[in-house]
Amino acid sequence: MCGLLGLLTSGGTSEDAVSRVDQAMHCLRHRGPDEHGTWNDDHLVFGFNRLAIIDIAHSHQPLRWGPPENPERYALTFNGEIYNYLEIRAELVKEHDAKFFTEGDSEAIVAAFHYWGEDAVRRLRGMFAFAIWDTDTRELFIARDPFGIKPLFIATGAGGTAFGSEKKSLLELTDLIGIGTELDPRAIEHYTVLQYVPEPETLHKEIRRLESGSFARVRPGEEPTFTRYFTPKFPAKPFAPGTEKARYQEIAEALEDSVAKHMRADVTVGSFLSGGIDSTAIAALAMRHNPNLITFTTGFEREGYSEVDVAAESAAAIGAKHVVKVVSPAEFAAAIPEIVWYLDDPVADPALIPLWFIAKEARKHVKVVLSGEGADELFGGYTIYREPLSLKPFEYLPKGLRRAAGKLSERIPDGTRGKSLLNRGSLTLEERYYGNARSFNDAQLRAVLRDFRPEWTHQDVTAPIYAQSRDWDPVARMQHLDLFTWLRGDILVKADKMTMANSLELRVPFLDPEVFDVASRVPLDQKITKDTTKYALRQALEGIVPHHVLHRAKLGFPVPLRHWLRGTELFDWAHLQIEESGTDHIFDKQAVVKMLNDHREGVSDHSRRLWTVLTFMVWHGIFVEKRIVPQIQEPVYPVNI
């Protein structure tokens, strides 16, 4: 788990380019405080900050490796972990008599690439963003893991191609590669609707993200070519009669195997623990490999916004030592600028702030944590996935009658029972569902955005994804969409950024190819029922997860944002952010102030919309106006915990 930065120049590597890459690595220091290294040849510069987890004394990067006839043919930088690296190394030794000089997973990647070519990425179980430079062919190969657990930003201009773990490092090199820093108005509108910037966009027009499940090839002076190597599919068929228990066992065994491999480390591994089934399952399985496991949870003092008690009960039930961090409103507000700096692009999910605090606390005890991200997308865990069941009667209506129901809903006053049902029932799945985040509708956008463009809709993002799943059941289509939108745009961004901000490695055992394989074959009636979500997973976890959690509704790390924006905790802070922000050309600030006042008076709950705008304003103040200067501490940790 580390931070990487690379520059492939068009005209040759200069001393200035090497120095600039080395300097730009400083803003990635939190991702790898244990070691720092650079390497360059006549066209490429690699920079690397290491968080040493496996083979601590060796496996230094940038790594050089090659076959016996050319032992330094390749140079590698790699962020992440390969959990089946031992099996890959053994297979390469058996098949090709491959030679290894460390005990780590980095060599496994580059050796696999040498012997298997691009197919190597399909055989890796792990989270990764890596770059391999072939000094013979003068070609750079860049790849990212199937689900987008680890980030990778990329930008190409006349001066070459730069790529790195965080966008802020590329912003340090824009003049070298010959790109501008203009913001992308379409990405801003997408962010305002979705509360995150969807891949491959970023808020900077000329910087993009290498998409999840993709790799790129690039040569000096040329544009990169991109290839998708992994597209998740849900080929679910009904379980054959009498096979249910065997299928549940298959799910449990796949998850247990994944957790076992995710426990591989030369440092202490802990686990995040909320009050839900996903993190509890991971922690319970991890206890089988480390009986001294430490679990971590966070919450708030306000009733209804804390799972501390449930998590503590779960930790006691599985026998884990438990650590709790309670976050006050004052701590919450004070941390916002620093957290937004770590994010690179704004993510308007308030849950990332308590996540930052619990990661900070966990780093005092461990260097690696496991977490339950991905279970909802794989097994059907979101309550919204039950919506197709409630809207089923609308499918039997003629199209004209469905549209008439939608027109009728427009005349019904807001807050009236049945208005939302009529409206959503009048729409197709593609029209109504664009992921778990829905911040502003068109009317609200028109009131707030200075340059609202109605032709830029969520369907810019979702239509190509929906096109891949036309013949699937509606819940599978929603899961598939969330894998490409909500999961990689919000869930995994906050997981990576908030833990790495504290030099803590987070591992997500649900997002494993073998677990996905069994999850993808779960039929609709085993995901969603009229009474519950994740039905098959809950059945599979009988006897693993304590009973008080097994059938409990999802809550996560909830934040009392609605209350705080109405009270003394955040109202004055929010008003000041709006007043001082230099975003008048983007937002109608009077309209935003009205939203804030209406929210305080209880006219409407604008908390999510306000948080979306406020997070952007803080981001703009840091990265564009330079008005806000967060105080980023130098990370100082022991090498081993």
Give the residue numbers of the binding site for ATP. Answer: 371-372
- Nearest to residue 190, comparing CAs of 626, 618, 612? 612
Both tokens assigned to 341: 């700096």
Instruction: Extract the tokens encoding 345.
Output: 């692009």
Residue type, 59: S
* In contact, 165 and 3? CB cutoff 8 Å: yes
Strands 321-326 and 368-370: unpaired
Question: The tokens of 255 are what?
Answer: 């998850």
Residues annotated within the binding site for L-glutamine are: 105
Residues in binding site: 105, 371-372
CA atoms within 13 A on the CB side of 492: 32
Phi, psi of 495 (to 5 degrees): -65, -45
Annotated catalytic residue 2: yes
Cα–Cα distance measured from residue 415 to residue 439, given in angstroms and rounded to the nearest whole number = 17
Q: How far apart are CA 480 and CA 435, in angstroms?
A: 10
Residue 101: name the closest of 35, 39, 57 by CA.
57
Q: Find the helix packing angle between 329-343 and 607-623, rounded to 10°.
A: 60
Q: Would you say 267 and 512 are in contact if contact means Cβ atoms under 8 Å apart? A: no
CA 200, chain centre distance (Å): 13
Rounded to whole angstroms, the Cα distance separating 639 from 12 reads 36
CA–CA gap between residue 568 and residue 562 (Å, rounded):
12
Helix (H) or strand (E) holding 618: helix 607-623
For residue 481, what is the DSSP state?
H
Which residues touch 412 (CB under 8 Å, ≥6 apart)? Answer: 418, 419, 422
Lateral strand order in the sheet of 225-228: 63-65, 74-82, 126-134, 139-144, 214-218, 225-228
Q: Which residues contact 364 (CB under 8 A, 6 or more apart)?
A: none
Q: Are 558 and 305 within 8 A, CB to CB?
A: yes
Is residue 214 within 8 Å of 192, Cβ to Cβ?
no
Hey, which residues does 98 pair with through a beta bridge? none
**166, two tokens:** 């965080």
261: left (phi over 0), alpha (psi -120 to 50) or beta: alpha
What are the helix (H) ranges across 301-366?
308-318, 329-343, 352-362
C-alpha torsion angle, residues 473, 479, 480, 485 (rounded to 10): 140
Number of residues assigned to the chain = 641
Out of 1, 2, 154, 449, pick the active-site residue.
2
Cβ–Cβ < 8 Å for 169, 157? no
Distances (CA, A) of 194 to 126, 433, 438, 440: 28, 11, 5, 8
Which residues are known to be catalytic? 2
